[in-house]
Chains A and B, each alone.
Chain A
Amino acid sequence: QVQLVQSGTEVKKPGASVKVSCKASGYSFTNCAIHWVRQAPGQRLEWMGWINTVSGDTKYSQKFQGGVTITRDTSASTAYIELSSLTSEDTAVYYCATDSGNEVYFDYWGQGTLVTVSS
């Protein structure tokens, strides 16, 4: 069955960077794009960006452009999101998710990674 397994909880200081991974299994990695979605405490889900796992092409929400980099390693069936210059406002749970391939809704989700930014 399709599984997306994310890396564990991170605690970072303001100004630091963090890289979260999302390892896919149960399907061919390059069959589906990977998206990243953020959920700050008590807040709505926010789409951050997307990577085409075949070409490596990316799209980002304008809100996160410049502070976020999404990459993938096809040999490891893993996608990554790197957040730089962290502030307390980046404290959130970060999810990876696949889309259906034809339409951009999220049919499978990772378990989420909590990133806490605190001095």
Chain B
Amino acid sequence: EIVMTQSPATLSVSPGERATLSCRASQSVSSNLAWYQQRPGQAPRLLIYGASTRATGIPARFSGSGSGTEFTLTISSLQSEDFAVYYCQQYNDWPPLTFGGGTKVEIK
């Protein structure tokens, strides 16, 4: 099973600032990585797939990068609606599909 590890667990950021979230895989997942946003009480929402491709309707301030075992999600200028929990998920080798533990982006 591929283990996904996200850091930091919590990120405190002021509105308008940049946020950088990390995701590491226990073995290479190539570019088969997705990022999701989950607001309180809501289902996750797909942000990024293929490590760097924004999903339909996702603002350009969200960008993904990386390949192999190291990945980054960057939110260039945080808006109020961006304060949420973010998860990465690998789909290179399954079953099982696996998620990271999440990074909570909170208001500083």
Residues of A within 8 A of B36 (CB): 45, 106
What residues of B have a CB within 8 angstroms of the CB of A29 in the complex? Answer: none
Q: Which residues of B contact A44 (CB under 8 A)?
A: 87, 99-102
Task: Enumerate chain B residues within 8 angstroms of A103, measured Cβ to Cβ.
Answer: 32, 49-50, 91
Contact residues in A for B87 (Cβ distance below 8 Å) = 44-45
A89 on the B face (CB < 8 A): no
Q: Which secondary structure dominates where chain B touches chain A?
A: loop
Chain A's interface size range is: 20 to 34
Within 8 A of A (CB), among B41-55: 43-46, 49-50, 55
**B46 and A106 contact, CB distance less than 8 A:** yes
A104's contact among B45, B91, B99, by CB below 8 Å, is which? B91
Find residues 91-112 in chain A having any chain B CB closer than 8 Å to their own CB.
95, 100, 103-107, 109-112
CA distance A50 to B96 in the complex (A): 10
Shortest distance between the CB of A41 and any CB in chain B (Å)? 13
Separation of A86 and B54 alpha carbons in the complex (Å)? 38
A105 touches B95 (CB 8 A): no
Instruction: Confirm or deny: A61 has a beta carbon within 8 angstroms of a beta carbon on chain B.
Output: yes
Report Cα–Cα, A35/B49, bound state, in Å: 17
B96 engages A61 (CB within 8 Å): yes
Q: Is the CB of A47 within 8 A of B34?
A: no
Interface flag for B14 (CB, 8 Å) = no
Cβ B43 vs Cβ A110 within 8 A: yes
CB of A45 within 8 A of CB of B46, answer: no
Partner of A47, one of B43, B46, B98: B98
Interface contact B97-A104, CB-CB below 8 Å: yes
A63 touches which of B46, B89, B91, B96 (Cβ 8 Å): B96
State the Cβ distance, A7 to closest chain B Cβ, in Å.
Answer: 15
Q: Are A61's CB and B44's CB within 8 A?
A: no
Q: Which 6 A-B pairs have the closest CB atoms?
A: A105-B34, A109-B43, A104-B91, A47-B97, A61-B96, A45-B99
